[in-house]
Amino acid sequence: MIQLNNVTKKYPGDVIAVDNVSLEIEKGETIVFVGTSGCGKTTTLKLINRLIDLTSGSITIEGKDISEVDSYALRRTIGFVIQNVGLFPHFTIERNVGVVPELIGWDKEKTRERTGELLTMVGLEPEVFADRFPGELSGGQQQRVGVARALAANPDVILMDEPFGALDPITRETLQDELSPLWNDLEKTVVFVTHDIFEAVKIGDRIAAMDSGKILQVGKPSEVIKYPKDETVASFFAQHRFQLELLTTRIEPIIEAYDENRVKDIKDKITLHPNDSLIDAMDALKSSKDNIVPVFDTQKKYLGIVNRASVTKEISNLIEQ
Ligand SMILES: Nc1ncnc2c1ncn2[C@@H]1O[C@H](COP(=O)(O)OP(=O)(O)O)[C@@H](O)[C@H]1O
Ligand SMILES: [Mg+2]
């Protein structure tokens, strides 16, 4: 667990970048800081790995005050991904991913093995990419390398500062879809910063809405969207409220029992997961051209179906609210 206790960061000239922030970040969760430019997201993130030092308050990770840990040592235990990754241009991809393992003294063989595993994990075949240089990769591929590098020494905590911010919308969505399950499955604690509210809602187990250095509200995406605490938080979502509600309403409550053998008759392979949203359900219904879609959990256990009528009913409930 990461704990921020009354954390304040002042810059010269009386800029209060982070203003008395207290927050508990659970082990294994993905928390997303969302807010407009200049609200203090990056500063908060950099306080956690001591790229900058706080003015007052304290931060602990697993109960240990980070001010008591050597800042270089601390950073080696925390993955960090930024926009435009900051890969070393004259290092191969393999060497870039292996930077931290090398620093902490892993032997060459172990580092090479780990690098290969990680590149595969983020969807880049090592045979193709390991010996290339960053300039020979697309922006999206470079961000994949950035994520692989952050995972290299197997840190418990990963900080991400608008990692997909510079990518085109399609690449951005692909990386969100492919990489966030990866760090969730690995049970990493992820602190993710974005100004993109859709990204926040999609990736976050919880979101922390920030403004003027303060955290205004923390909660599950569906809660924060449905019950914004004040006008400022409401204004973050105002323009896209309906879309965001569709995106954050899960299908789990509308799953119905249905004979598994009859589901087997459905030729389409389109299925849903209980965490999927009404939008996913609409997409699935549209593509399957059927009136029902089977639902399976992560372990591929059959849970039942959702049907067109209940999805439509949920949507009309949202319209009427
Ligand atoms: N090194 C710095 N010196 C002075 N002011 C800074 C510095 N870095 C950030 N700030 C100011 O702190 C505030 C928060 O910045 P930042 O955390 O980068 O915001 P965000 O990441 O949410 O866009 C802004 O007003 C910014 O101008
Ligand atoms: Mg920033």
- Ligand 1 atom nearest 35 alpha carbon: 22
- Whether 39 lines ligand 1, by a CB cut-off of 6 Å, is yes
- According to the model, what pLDDT value does residue 102 have? 86
- Whether 23 lines ligand 1, by a CB cut-off of 6 Å, is no
d(CA 137, CA 56): 42
Among 220, 287, 286, 228, which Cα is nearest to 247's? 220
- According to the model, what pLDDT value does residue 135 have? 94
- According to the model, what pLDDT value does residue 93 have? 96
Q: Which CATH superfamily is domain 249-320 in?
A: CBS-domain (3.10.580.10)
Residue appearing with tokens 């308050």: 57
DSSP SS3 for 87: coil
Q: Which CATH superfamily is domain 2-239 in?
A: P-loop containing nucleotide triphosphate hydrolases (3.40.50.300)
**Nearest CA, atom 12, ligand 1:** 17
- According to the model, what pLDDT value does residue 265 have? 67
Task: Considering the chain, tell me which residue range(s) the CATH 3.40.50.300 domain(s) occupy.
Answer: 2-239
18 C-alpha to center of ligand 1: Å? 9
- Ligand 1 atom nearest 33 alpha carbon: 22
- Whether 36 lines ligand 1, by a CB cut-off of 6 Å, is no
Among 89, 52, 57, which Cα is nearest to 74's? 52
Edge-to-edge, what's the strand order for the sheet holding 78-82? Answer: 78-82, 157-161, 189-194, 30-34, 206-211, 214-219
- Whether 40 lines ligand 1, by a CB cut-off of 6 Å, is yes
Among 99, 192, 193, which Cα is nearest to 150's? 99
- According to the model, what pLDDT value does residue 266 have? 65
Dump pLDDT digits (tens) for 163-220.
998 888 898 898 898 888 888 888 999 999 999 999 999 999 999 999 999 999 999 9
Q: Which ligand is nearest to the CA of 15?
A: 1
Low-confidence ranges of the chain (pLDDT < 50): none
DSSP SS3 for 206: strand
- According to the model, what pLDDT value does residue 167 have? 87
- Whether 304 lines ligand 1, by a CB cut-off of 6 Å, is no
Residues 162/194, Cβ–Cβ less than 8 Å: yes
- According to the model, what pLDDT value does residue 186 have? 85
Task: Considering the chain, tell me which residue range(s) the CATH 3.10.580.10 domain(s) occupy.
Answer: 249-320
Whole-angstrom CA distances from 94 to 84, 87, 175 are 18, 11, 20
